[in-house]
């Protein structure tokens, strides 16, 4: 049996909110604060926005991230407490996720590369609906989607924006991606698709000058795009820590039974 991993060297990060900053002061006084480059674990204090920022910042280090809720939305966070942090970290369960890699080319020919942990979303920039062509593994699957936009979500992101636009919830360990339209006009009855996570998804913007489109990879936006290519990134592996009984897998599963 593998012995529990030790997390003796803790680095703390916190959002700018008063609640998070107060928690930061309390925890640093109790447990100290290491440089993230030398830490065994990073403890993030805030909401899901801070968690996504922290995951992006440590994407290439492999350092596990343990969140405590001191913000607004806390789906990716554990409950806040100053007690027995070392014991909580030792008992925590790991959830491993892989991000998406987005390659977007704008109308000027500039290429933009960004990772997304939750989703990559395309949005119309003006009052006119976007016109998009969809290819999967270089094969055209939809010649024209007229909509406010469309997104590709990971299992981790399937309960975020994807769920709010009526996309499917995907179990965290399922090798799948969700392709979900945002307010589709034509085809009117298309509700999206479930794709294998090794699929390569491409979008071409039709009438890019007349109907400009922006793309957002989590919190990174690129405007006036011409085409976007999205695929799972196996190069990077992200580890989130959750208290026993409230793993990311359990949270995503439980979302399917909420009224």
Q: Active-site residue numbers?
A: 48
Using alpha carbons, select from 202, 180, 190, 207 the residue that is nearest to residue 102: 202
Q: At 94, which helix (H) or strand (E)? A: strand 93-97
Tokens of 77: 């966070």
Q: Are 149 and 182 in contact (CB under 8 A)?
A: yes
Q: At 106, which helix (H) or strand (E)? A: strand 100-106
Bond before 74 cis per omega within 30 degrees: no
Using alpha carbons, select from 135, 145, 152 the residue that is nearest to residue 185: 145
Q: Are 63 and 42 in contact (CB under 8 A)?
A: yes
Residue 222, exposed/middle/buried by CB under 10 A (0-12, 13-18, 19+)? buried
């Amino acid at each position: 049996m593998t012995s529990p991993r030790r997390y003796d060297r803790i680095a703390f990060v916190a959002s700018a909110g008063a609640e998070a900053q107060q928690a930061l002061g309390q925890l640093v006084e109790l447990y100290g604060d290491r440089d993230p480059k030398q830490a065994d674990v990073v403890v993030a204090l805030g909401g899901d926005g801070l968690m996504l920022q922290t995951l992006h910042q440590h994407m290439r280090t492999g350092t596990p991230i343990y969140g405590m809720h001191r913000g607004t939305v806390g789906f990716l966070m554990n409950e806040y407490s100053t007690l027995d942090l070392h014991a909580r970290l030792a008992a925590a369960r790991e959830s491993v996720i892989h991000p998406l890699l987005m390659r977007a080319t704008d109308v000027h020919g500039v290429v933009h590369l960004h990772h997304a942990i939750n989703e990559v979303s395309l949005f119309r920039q003006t009052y006119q609906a976007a016109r998009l062509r969809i290819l999967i593994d270089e094969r055209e699957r939809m010649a024209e989607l007229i909509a406010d936009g469309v997104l590709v979500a990971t299992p981790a992101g399937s309960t975020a924006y994807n769920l709010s636009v009526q996309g499917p919830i995907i179990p965290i360990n399922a090798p799948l991606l969700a392709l979900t339209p945002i307010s589709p006009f034509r085809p009117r009855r298309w509700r999206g698709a479930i794709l294998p996570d090794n699929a390569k998804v491409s979008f071409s913007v039709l009438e890019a000058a007349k109907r400009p489109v922006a793309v957002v990879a989590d919190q990174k936006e690129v405007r006036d795009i011409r085409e976007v290519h999205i695929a799972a990134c196996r190069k990077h592996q992200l580890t989130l820590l959750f208290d026993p009984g409230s793993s990311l897998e359990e949270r995503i599963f439980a979302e399917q039974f909420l009224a």
